Amino acid sequence: MLNKISEILNEISAYSTQKHDELESFRLKYLSKKGIISELFEDFRNIPPLEKREIGQKLNILKEKALEKYNSLKSDLPETAPISDSSDLSKPSFPFPTGSRHPISIVRKEIIEIFNRIGFVVSEGPEIEDDNHVFTKLNFAPEHPARDMQDTFYVSRISAEDSSPEDILLRTHTSSVQVRVMEGQKPPIRTISPGRVFRNEAISARAHCIFHQVEGLYIDTNVSFADLKQTLLYFAREMFGKDTEIRLRPSYFPFTEPSAEMDVSCRICGGKGCNVCKYTGWLEILGCGMVHPNVLEACNIDSKEYTGFAFGMGIERLTMLKYRVNDLRLYFENDLRFLEQFRTSF
Write the pLDDT tens digit of every residue in 244-299: 899 999 999 999 999 999 999 887 676 777 766 778 888 889 999 999 999 999 99
Per-residue pLDDT at 300 = 94
Burial code of 140-158, b = ≥16 C-beta within 10 A, e = fewer? beeeeebbeeeebebeebe
pTM of the predicted protein model:
0.67
Per-residue pLDDT at 95 = 67
* Nearest partner of 10 among 65, 53, 54, judged by Cα: 65
**Residues, the chain:** 346
Query: Which residues neighbour 109 within 8 Å (Cβ) at sequence distance 6 or greater?
Result: 346
Residue 29 burial (CB < 10 Å; 0-12/13-18/19+)? middle
Round to whole Å and give the CA distance between 196 and 303.
30
Per-residue pLDDT at 198 = 94
Distances (CA, A) of 211 to 76, 203, 242, 296, 342: 59, 11, 28, 27, 19
- The stretch 85-98 carries a mean pLDDT of 66
3-state helix, strand, coil in the chain (%, to 5): 40, 20, 40
Distances (CA, A) of 156 to 18, 134, 148, 218: 65, 14, 13, 32
Round to whole Å and give the CA distance between 288 and 265.
17
**Residue 86 pLDDT exceeds 70:** no
Query: Which residues neighbour 148 within 8 Å (Cβ) at sequence distance 6 or greater?
Result: none
Round to whole Å and give the CA distance between 61 and 261.
64
Round to whole Å and give the CA distance between 76 and 65.
17
Query: CB of 268 within 8 A of CB of 276?
Result: yes
Residue 84: pLDDT band by 50, 70, 90 thresholds? low
Per-residue pLDDT at 108 = 94
Q: Residue 143 carries which side chain, given as an amino acid letter?
A: E
| HSE-CB for 139 with a 13 A CA cutoff | 14
**Residue 231 pLDDT exceeds 60:** yes
**Residue 89 pLDDT exceeds 90:** no
Distances (CA, A) of 128 to 131, 198, 227, 294: 10, 10, 32, 24
Query: CB of 174 within 8 A of CB of 125?
Result: yes
Phi-psi region at 212: left, alpha or beta (left = phi > 0; alpha = psi -120 to 50): beta
CATH T-level assignment (fold) for domain 103-339 = BirA Bifunctional Protein; domain 2 (3.30.930)
Per-residue pLDDT at 158 = 65
Domain boundaries, the chain: 2-76, 103-339
DSSP single-letter state for residue 276: T
* Termini Cα distance of the chain: 48
